[in-house]
Structure 1
Amino acid sequence: MKHIFLSICLALGTPAIAAADDPKPAPTDEGFSLMEEGARIFLRGLMQEVEPAMDDLKALAEDLQPNMKRLLGELGPTLNKLAALMEDATAYEAPQRLPNGDIIIRRKEDAPPLTVPDAPEIDL
């Protein structure tokens, strides 16, 4: 009976003795690797959720590309001339449409003076 009691005490006391010998366990990277793995799983799931929407957006961009190229080809030169005349677009008010269809872009009152005294005329 004494042997059984002694065996039980030794068996139960061994982890406590081992823990007492090593007061602070050595740091491991297991915590970081678990966090990294969790982040990977989360991001993988997020990508799977977003992938159909990204495919739809890509298809839309492919459909719009020819029209955008044509629009830029037609308006590009005129927009370049307008930008050269305006210099700084922030110096102007928002455009206004008049009853007769004309569009006016007024210069702000506090805008600095133009550096180009004789701006070229635009032929539209």
Structure 2
Amino acid sequence: MKRFLFVAILVMVTPASAQTEGDGLNLMEEGLKLFFKGLQQEVEPAIKGLQDFAGDVGPELQSFFLEMGPAFRTLMQDVEDWSSYHPPELLPNGDIILRRKVSKELNVPKGDETDT
């Protein structure tokens, strides 16, 4: 983090007409290169962890989409207006239900709803 702040300050205070170095890059360009190199080094462990996680759950997700995909597609075609339904509820037996709002609930502004 300290390196990031140092590079950010360096980039801000270095004028655009900075002297060029031997390889033709000015100091701002060199600072940006260092910034992105540091950023890449900081993000690399997170990307590795994400790849490991994807490898672990990938087969399960693929199986889920193969089994549930057709049912989800049918549900999306059948429901025209999602605002006319309450959020899904998980019942104790594992069933998931979608309750349709009654007409009086559809006309009530969100801040004025009361639980009965």
Shorter-chain TM band: 0.5 to 0.7
Structure 2 match to 1:96: 89
2:90 aligned with 1:76, yes or no?
A: no
CA RMSD of aligned residues (A): 2.8
Query: Matches of residues 46-85 of structure 1 in structure 2 within 5 Å?
Result: 46-85=39-78
Give the C-alpha shift of residue 83 in structure 1: 1.2
Gap runs ≥5 in structure 1: 1-26, 112-124
Q: Provide the rounded CA distance (Å) in 1 between the counterparts of 2:75 and 2:96.
A: 13
Deviation at 1:89, TM superposition (A): 2.5
Partner residue, 1:30: 19
1:44-101 deviation per Cα after TM superposition (whole angstroms, max 9, x unaligned):
0111121121111112112221111100011111111111111232332112345676
The 1:29/1:50 distance shift into structure 2, 3 A limit, reads: same
Contact kept, 8 Å, 2:18 with 2:28, in 1: the verdict is no
Q: TM-score, normalised by structure 1?
A: 0.55
Residues 3-14 of structure 1 mapped to structure 2, 5 A cutoff: none
The TM-score, its normalising length taken from structure 2, stands at 0.58
Paired residues, what number? 85
Aligned-partner Cα distance in 2 for 1:28–1:99: 69
**Percent same amino acid at aligned positions?**
44
Q: In structure 1, what is the Cα distance between the partners aligned to 2:17 and 2:50?
A: 44
Q: Which runs of 5+ in 2 are unaligned?
A: 1-15, 108-116
